[in-house]
Amino acid sequence: MPLQISDRVRALGQQAQRELAEQFDRIDEIAAFNTEKVLAAFQKHKVAESFFQGTTGYGYDDLGREALGEIYADIFCTEDAMVRINFVNGTHAIASALYGVLRPGDVMVSAIGAPYDTLQGVIGITGDGNGSLKEFGISYRQVDLTPENTPDLPGIVQAVQEPNVKAVLIQRSRGYATRASLSVETIGTICQAIRQANPHVWILVDNCYGEFVETIEPTQVGADLIMGSLIKNPGGGLAPMGGYVAGRRELVESTAMRMTVPGIGRECGASLGNNRALYQGLFLAPHTVAQATKTAVFAAKVMELLGYRTDPTSQEIRHDIIQMIHLEKPEAVEKFCKGIQAGAPVDSYVTPVPWDMPGYDCPVIMAAGAFIQGASIELSADAPMRPPYTVYMQGGLTFESGKLGILLAADELLREARR
């Protein structure tokens, strides 16, 4: 039995897809390049059935776990990498890196304004400060964006020249900000400016939502360390949990000491039978990311045809999988999220409502009927319930299913307008 989507919206979807042929071809080319890169890494490290065996307890001698780190290092062109289910989310991986790199008296600089909401508690900007970097005597500076919403290179150069600056954090995706996501080329420009101003500072990039969207990664243009979540892009929709860090060996080692404890670091951490899903998810990741990217482009086009503003637009080159849609009214946000939820394979009958989530300063609405709880590589939409009432949509394990979710969301908006 077909889904209940009006003929008008189905026709709108057909028009959008016809007009996106060039964009889709570009996305497929990137996926082909990255698939070859991943396959070459698998073959170089002689991935075998024995790598998929799980460990328990301390997790010593987990060959698959260690080889997966080496494969990530090859894919991201780094000295070292660590991939662990022990990371509970991307924020945990990023925070572990920050605690590993920084020491009391050091200064951390955020190069593109305030970081994502959940990191602000880690830094000590929000919350009660318990366990934050601030409580440990680590100072924080941020360089706000220019009036044009672009990175302020002169401001960044000036900020990193402060004697105690030890690390600079660059967030690749927009988070809940209205700025554009950063291209790898732009990140390279920022890295070059930082390096000329202070060659001793460490450059860390929050790579969430960006892996495999382009053919190169931030570690290939000057970043010392990148961090991300496995239930986003690199997990390919199969990883059930976890995160990764990749970059300079000493920084990966320092992060490992914070993930567990000094003296143990990465030596412990059982994989509990998850290695197969982590390997297979990574192998599928370039293709899955392409599906999510196509879904984002399609969403932009459909919503533009309905008269809404989008960012990026349907014709812009993508640097992550996030799509902003400016709905302008709280009721429209709730209707859009209701439609996305209705297009999910799990919990499609549920109506999402705003609620107070840990780490956020206002109620947040989230639509996600995912096989993996909170997996942003699966079709989802969320929004902070505050002006300008912009929804952030991402994911789509397959374009075909993602397209249906978008059409249901569009139909929900039009149904409300007809009442």
- Residue 216 domain-assigned? yes
CB 350, CB 369: distance < 8 Å:
yes
Q: How distant is the alpha carbon of residue 23 from its chain centre?
A: 21
pLDDT higher than threshold 90 for residue 127: no
Q: What is the pLDDT of residue 417?
A: 55
Q: What is the pLDDT of residue 358?
A: 72
Q: Which of 246, 273, 300 is the last residue of a domain?
A: 273
Please give the Cα distance from 256 to 81 (Å, whole number): 10
Same domain, 90 and 221: yes
Residue-wise pLDDT tens digits, 163-181: 999 999 999 998 777 788 9
Q: Which of 241, 273, 305 is the last residue of a domain?
A: 273
- Residue 334 domain-assigned? yes
Residue-wise pLDDT tens digits, 351-375: 999 988 776 778 999 999 999 999 9
pTM: 0.95
Strand order in 309-311's β-sheet?
A: 309-311, 323-326, 390-394, 380-384, 364-368
- Indicate which CATH number applies to the domain containing 187: 3.40.640.10
Same domain, 261 and 348: no
CB 213, CB 287: distance < 8 Å:
no
Residue-wise pLDDT tens digits, 139-156: 999 999 999 999 999 999
Same domain, 244 and 301: no
Same domain, 244 and 353: no
Please give the Cα distance from 381 to 338 (Å, whole number): 9
Residue-wise pLDDT tens digits, 173-229: 987 777 889 999 999 999 999 999 999 999 999 999 999 999 999 999 999 999 999
Tokens of 219: 């570690």
Smallest Cα–Cα separation from 240: which of 250, 227, 229, 248?
229
- Residue 410 domain-assigned? yes
- Residue 320 domain-assigned? yes
Same domain, 85 and 223: yes
- Residue 173 domain-assigned? yes
Same domain, 267 and 312: no
Please give the Cα distance from 319 to 128 (Å, whole number): 34
In sequence order, which residues have a C-beta less than 8 Å from that of residue 128 and are 6 or more positions away? none
Same domain, 320 and 358: yes
pLDDT higher than threshold 60 for residue 418: no
Same domain, 381 and 359: yes
Q: How many structural domains are present in the chain? A: 2
The DSSP bridge partners found for residue 109 are: 141, 168
Compute the radius of gyration of the chain from its Cα atoms. Answer: 21
Residue-wise pLDDT tens digits, 11-69: 999 999 999 999 999 999 999 999 999 999 999 999 999 999 989 999 999 999 999 99
Q: Is the dihedral of CA 315, 317, 322, 328 positive or negative?
A: negative
- Residue 40 domain-assigned? no
- Residue 394 domain-assigned? yes
Q: Which of 238, 273, 308 is the last residue of a domain?
A: 273
Q: Which amino acid is at 273?
A: G
Same domain, 229 and 336: no
Same domain, 266 and 296: no
Tokens of 131: 């366990």
pLDDT band, residue 117 (cuts 50/70/90): confident
- Better-predicted residue by pLDDT, 54 or 233: 233
- Residue 49 domain-assigned? no
- Indicate which CATH number applies to the domain containing 339: 3.90.1150.60
Mean pLDDT of the 305-320 span: 96
Smallest Cα–Cα separation from 209: which of 24, 394, 411, 410?
394
CB 181, CB 319: distance < 8 Å:
yes
Please give the Cα distance from 369 to 343 (Å, whole number): 8
- State the pairing for strand pair 165-171/202-206: parallel
Same domain, 75 and 161: yes
Residue with tokens 């439609």: 339
Same domain, 27 and 71: no
Instruction: Please provide residue 100's backbone torsions phi and psi, each rounded to the nearest 5 degrees.
Output: -75, -35
pLDDT higher than threshold 80 for residue 288: yes
Tokens of 8: 């008008």
Which domain does 298 fall in, by range? 7-34+283-418
- Reduce the secondary structure of the chain to three states and give it as a string: CCCCCCHHHHHHHHHHHHHCHHHHHHHHHHHHHHHHHHHHHHHHCCCCHHHHCCCCCCCCCCHHHHHHHHHHHHHCCCCEEEEECCCCCHHHHHHHHHHHHCCCCCEEEEECECCCHHHHHHHCCCCCCCCCCCCCCCEEEECCCCCCCCCCHHHHHHHHCCCCEEEEEEECCCCCCCCCCCCHHHHHHHHHHHHHHCCCCEEEEECCCCCCCCCCCHHHCCCCEEEEECCCHHHCCCCCCCEEEEECHHHHHHHHHHHCCCCCHHHCCCCCCCHHHHHHHHHHHHHHHHHHHHHHHHHHHHHHHCCCEEECCCCCCCCCCCEEEECCCHHHHHHHHHHHHHCCCCCCCCCCCCECCCCCCCCEEEEECCCCCCCCCCCEEEEECCCCCEEEEECCCCHHHHHHHHHHHHHHHHHHHHC
